[in-house]
Copies of this chain bind each other. A is one copy, B any other.
Amino acid sequence: VKKVSIISVGNELLTGQTLDSNCAYISSRLLSVGLPVVAIFMTADEIDSIVKSLERAISDSDVVVMTGGLGPTDDDITRQALAQFLGVELELQTELLEQIKTFFAKRGTVMPQRCQTEAYIPAGARALPNKLGSAPGILAEYKGKKIVALPGVPAEMRQIFEDEVFTELQEYAKGQVTVVRKLKCFGAAEAQIAEKLGNLMERNRNPLINCTVSCGVITLTIIAQGGWQEQCEKMAEGDEKRLRGILGDLVYGSGDVSLAQVVGEKLTRQNKTLSVAESCTGGLVSKLITDVPGASRYFAQGWITYADNTKTNELGVPEELINKYGAVSEEVAQAMAKCARRKADTTFAIGISGIAGPNGGTEEKPVGLVFIALDSQAGCVQQRVFFPRGRDAIRLRAALTALNMLRMQLEV
């Protein structure tokens, strides 16, 4: 089985400034063609560190994919480190230099002098054209193994990876097959799901089932390995059915689908519409809904009624209700949902009011308490939830819970 290691280069990764998303992208793409990533190394913008990582990575695997450090600034030295590791010089490719100059010319500017460095490639290696930026990628061979260097800017990395690298590595991987399926769940804790699955999660099992959790969304990954595609597909499919049978409507979808996408598909298919009135989530529910292309088919409008009086003035929530129960209450969340549905004339409306913190909590209504209401012709349902984990997590968890309530109503 051919294996891959990834090296992410950049001081910003080691000082905690930047979260690397490139590794996840590359890993999931390569896994789909049966090239598992066995190790990821993050290393500083220093020649010695990069060379050491290359030595380790190449000892673990047949393919090394590097990202970062190909740009025009002085801290970009992946190019030099790769040449040193390969034991060759950097050579100016004049044709490449012209391409880089053209890249800037097309955008109406002159190539900054420092970008000339991007036209230097280790002798014997191949430059990989970059359509979105000036720095090309690099593909080198080393003792029958392959080393790919890509820019760190995600869009540029992806374009070069897809256009120049993916097919070549797919060819290289022939003969081994991995099929990966993901099931996304919402509405139970990780330990509860693990209890339900029992020995299906044993480590030596094939397919292997992994479980991860992020803000209430639980992802189960089924990884089937074998000699040919059909066999692996069948194994993975069998497990998917098994898991769906055990977990029922805790499973909201498969693959990389989000709750907002699933809700959007159901609304579209059922020809139903949605509006949203948000307080503590401050636009997050609407943002999640409109993350989905084509959301305009079912989402026409939303209100962010952050201040108490705007709940009354904009939506028409009775002032007495707010005075009597407080803005953060079952009653006001329900009134927000009902008013939004009436004003927007939609099938469903969500109303959310809560205390996202860090301030504003009381003993009776602590930070993390959120009321979520969902109104429809069938009536107004609501949930009182409590997420004791910080402003961002409270807001996201509340927004996802609202979407999940809607999903459950849309199940047919």
Contacts and interface: CB of A to CB of B under 8 A. Distances in A.
A303 B306 contact: no
Contact of A299 (B41, B72, B115, B306): B306
A73 B194 contact: yes
Nearest to A24: B16
A122 interface: no
Contacts of A14: 27, 36-40
A391 B19 CA distance: 20
Given A11-B210, A17-B24, A201-B75, A303 B304 contact: yes
Given A223-B15, A304-B303, A314-B301, A195 B290 contact: no
Contact of A301 (B10, B281, B305): B305
A219 interface: yes
Contacts of A38: 14, 44, 49
Contact of A203 (B75, B278, B289, B303): B75
A253 interface: no
Copies of this chain assembled into the complex: 2
A362 interface: no
A306 B296 contact: yes
A339 B283 CA distance: 19
A382 interface: no
Contacts of A195: 112, 114
Contacts of A392: 291
Contacts of A243: none
**Size class of A's contact patch?**
35 or more
A284 interface: yes
21 contacts: A11-B208, A11-B221, A14-B27, A15-B31, A15-B36, A15-B180, A16-B28, A19-B20, A19-B24, A38-B44, A72-B191, A73-B191, A74-B194, A75-B211, A282-B295, A283-B285, A284-B287, A290-B306, A293-B357, A301-B307, A301-B310
Chain A to chain B: the 10 pairs with minimum beta-carbon distance, closest first: A282-B290, A16-B28, A283-B286, A283-B283, A16-B27, A302-B304, A40-B42, A300-B307, A283-B287, A16-B24
Given A15-B180, A153-B213, A301-B310, 11 more contacts: A11-B210, A15-B36, A15-B37, A16-B25, A45-B210, A74-B202, A134-B191, A155-B393, A282-B302, A284-B290, A295-B306
